[in-house]
Structure 1
Amino acid sequence: MESAGFDGAADRWWTAERARARLGPFGVWIAPATLLATPVAVMRAQLRRLEGVGYGSFWTGEPPAGAPVAGREVFSQLAVALAATDRLVLGAGIANVAARVPSATHTASATLAEAYPDRLVLGLGGAGGPRPLRALREYLDALDTVAARALPGARYPRVLAALGPKALRLARERVDGVHPFLQPVAHTAFARRVVGEGPLVVPHLAVSLEPEPALAREAIRAVRRASGSGRALREGGEHEKSGGSEGGVENAYDRSYRRLGFGDADLADGGSDALVDALLAHGEPPAVVTRAREHLEAGADHVLLHPLTVDLPSAVDDLERLAPFLLE
């Protein structure tokens, strides 16, 4: 079975290529809790600011099923954002597979893709339980079955929240790309090696224009201490702490960091300076831009910048400061 609305690897390549051309090098990722605290009218205005300075996409996700932190339903939010803008690609990063049945996921995605051609990317993740990879594979099977019957002509790329080799291989076999969250440049290179040349690689990059390094680093450390790793920041991210895409009790993010050479001391108490500096681009705009471009050089197609600010207008302020350096 193949990607939604498509018939084989050639169609997946076509979908990924169209998305790659439309996305450009840089987009934006904003946490669900930030958008929950933002009135819709304010969100519309801020999205138009982002579009005006040249970012290619805007992504957000949703909390995992049963999470204590609330958030807006992701497809409703994307519909508002699509209607408010003219060119921005909107990404679900991610839509939680535990939150809705495959038929609801496809018909929502296909409806938006029909209404706004080439402006939607569906990111999927959040499969839990003892065999999360199997659960995600079965979800994709069901999604493909529905897509063959309902709105089959509405084409949209699908990407997986994938960190480890098994999840990356699943993405290579079944969808149009991957959306790794809170990972260093080394992971982007690893992901590209595993998925090969065709699929999209769309990493998330936390950024801070805070001039004091200790304060910038604490933003990531506070999240890791509260959540065991990146889950609180993502609020609906790739995997549950007890599961992960490839099983085991250690957090999927920390397993990924270990694969990249980080040890116990790096993972303790929110993360060592070495780990945090690998995950976070901080400082003056040229330093942030250098890190973002390192992801592109490592194999990313499109890098999503996530400003660690108190609200959406402040995030857009930072993104406007970065735009002349990023988009020159």
Structure 2
Amino acid sequence: MNLDPGLVGIWSLAFTHGDRGAACEAAAELEELGYGTLWLGGNPGGNPRGDLVTTAGLLAATSRTVVAPACVSVWHQSAPALASTYQALPARMRNRLLLGLGVGHPKTDQDYHRPYTSLCAYLDELDGLDGSLAPIPRAARILGAHGPRMTWLAATRAAGVHPHLTTAGHTVRTRELLGDGPLLAPSVSVVLETSPSTARATARAALAPYLAQPNYANNWLSSGFTADDLADHGSDHLIDALFAWGTLDRVTDRITEHLQAGADHVAVQVVTDATYGFPLTEWRTLAQPLKQPSSPGRV
């Protein structure tokens, strides 16, 4: 099994929370625009299951693009149920499905406990080590992770790692930890707006659900931000580091920065005031300057 995510994909909450018919239409257009992967985004407290029914619909609406539920919560989807649903899909769909797995958030997941040990046990089940179910191949799963221990687990038990809301500096450090081989696919959140006040207000609204989550806060603090940066809806310094905003050239440069820093693939989240809307105009605008060869690899 050899999934090719391409260099650039689209990460969107609309795939998970929006109208399914509109999602399928958008998926077909995004494939024609040349995006390599469609990431089904999720946010803290919202649809943590990673709906494979929606995933199957997007796979059916496309023919080449990889479809990736960004983070299936191990607390809300048992390994046997996930493996059964995965194996029930036609092979032509499974060959383009990249399952994002994660441990969720301690403030919104009631069952949250011993995240590293619990994720290891979950992966054991997906590997079919007890013989009770057909395994989900390592190449078909990617872990949503930020810290060194979870990143190393991703390198050894999955295709790679999918960090969210991180900086290019974090991408450099993650690549150093992973070494060559494992897939590094960070998401990059962008606001196509040149007014600083407007762009930052839009970004702050998108960041709000994550600021209260200890796992995200700890990652930002370990990346050099301070408690003051995380206070009062996020400092300008934090917003400007986590969100690419401004002109088209400035935004595409920030995306390319992650590829130069060691990413194999960048999942682009276009942030607008319509949280669960389909920003087709922005996706079309970004498509040409981001157009890259389909095979993954660092530039």
> What band does the TM-score fall into relative to the shorter chain?
0.7 to 0.9
Residue 6 of structure 2 corresponds to 24
Residue 151 of structure 2 corresponds to 168
CA distance in 2 between partners of 1:46 and 1:307 (Å): 14
Residue 293 of structure 1 corresponds to 256
Determine if contact 1:113/1:120 at 8 Å carries over to the other structure: no
- Unpaired segments ≥5 residues, structure 2: 107-111, 293-299
The correspondence for 1:187, drawn from 170, 189, 194, is: 170
Determine if contact 2:48/2:71 at 8 Å carries over to the other structure: no
Output the amino acid matched with 1:325. P
CA distance in 2 between partners of 1:272 and 1:153 (Å): 41
After superposition, where does 1:272-283 map in structure 2 within 5 Å? 272-283=235-246
State the 1:39 CA deviation.
2.5
Task: Provide, for residues 105-135 of structure 1, a one-character-per-residue CA deviation record: whole Å limited to 9, x for no partner.
Answer: 1222333372325311111002553311111
Task: Provide, for residues 246-269 of structure 1, a one-character-per-residue CA deviation record: whole Å limited to 9, x for no partner.
Answer: xxxxx1111111111111221211
Residue 122 of structure 1 corresponds to 99
Task: Provide, for residues 46-86 of structure 1, a one-character-per-residue CA deviation record: whole Å limited to 9, x for no partner.
Answer: 1111111100010114566xx4x458852111000000111
The DSSP-based 3-state class of the residue aligned with 2:269 is: strand
Residue 102 of structure 1 corresponds to 79
Residue 227 of structure 1 corresponds to 209
Aligned residues: 285
Range with bigger deviation, 211-220 or 173-182 = 211-220
Residue 217 of structure 1 corresponds to 200
Determine if contact 1:38/1:311 at 8 Å carries over to the other structure: no
Residue 40 of structure 2 corresponds to 60
Output the amino acid matched with 1:214. S
C-alpha change, 1:311 and 1:52, in structure 2 (3 Å) is: farther
CA distance in 1 between partners of 2:200 and 2:113 (Å): 33
Determine if contact 1:111/1:154 at 8 Å carries over to the other structure: no
The DSSP-based 3-state class of the residue aligned with 2:231 is: helix
C-alpha change, 1:264 and 1:71, in structure 2 (3 Å) is: closer
State the 1:316 CA deviation.
2.1
Task: Provide, for residues 177-209 of structure 1, a one-character-per-residue CA deviation record: whole Å limited to 9, x for no partner.
Answer: 000011111111111111111100010111111
CA distance in 1 between partners of 2:260 and 2:164 (Å): 18
Residue 66 of structure 2 corresponds to 89
The DSSP-based 3-state class of the residue aligned with 1:270 is: coil
Determine if contact 1:29/1:58 at 8 Å carries over to the other structure: yes
Between Structure 1 and Structure 2, the one with more helix by share is 1
Work out the percentage of aligned pairs sharing the same amino acid. 35
Residue 325 of structure 1 corresponds to 289
CA distance in 2 between partners of 1:135 and 1:81 (Å): 30
Determine if contact 2:138/2:157 at 8 Å carries over to the other structure: no
CA distance in 2 between partners of 1:181 and 1:269 (Å): 21
C-alpha change, 1:138 and 1:116, in structure 2 (3 Å) is: same
Determine if contact 1:61/1:93 at 8 Å carries over to the other structure: yes
The correspondence for 1:197, drawn from 180, 188, 205, is: 180
- Unpaired segments ≥5 residues, structure 1: 1-14, 232-240, 242-250
CA distance in 1 between partners of 2:275 and 2:250 (Å): 23
Residue 89 of structure 2 corresponds to 112
Residue 296 of structure 2 corresponds to none
Determine if contact 1:36/1:72 at 8 Å carries over to the other structure: no
The correspondence for 1:41, drawn from 21, 44, 50, is: 21
The correspondence for 1:50, drawn from 20, 23, 30, is: 30
Range with bigger deviation, 46-55 or 103-112 = 103-112
C-alpha change, 1:88 and 1:254, in structure 2 (3 Å) is: same
C-alpha change, 1:71 and 1:84, in structure 2 (3 Å) is: farther
C-alpha change, 1:113 and 1:186, in structure 2 (3 Å) is: farther
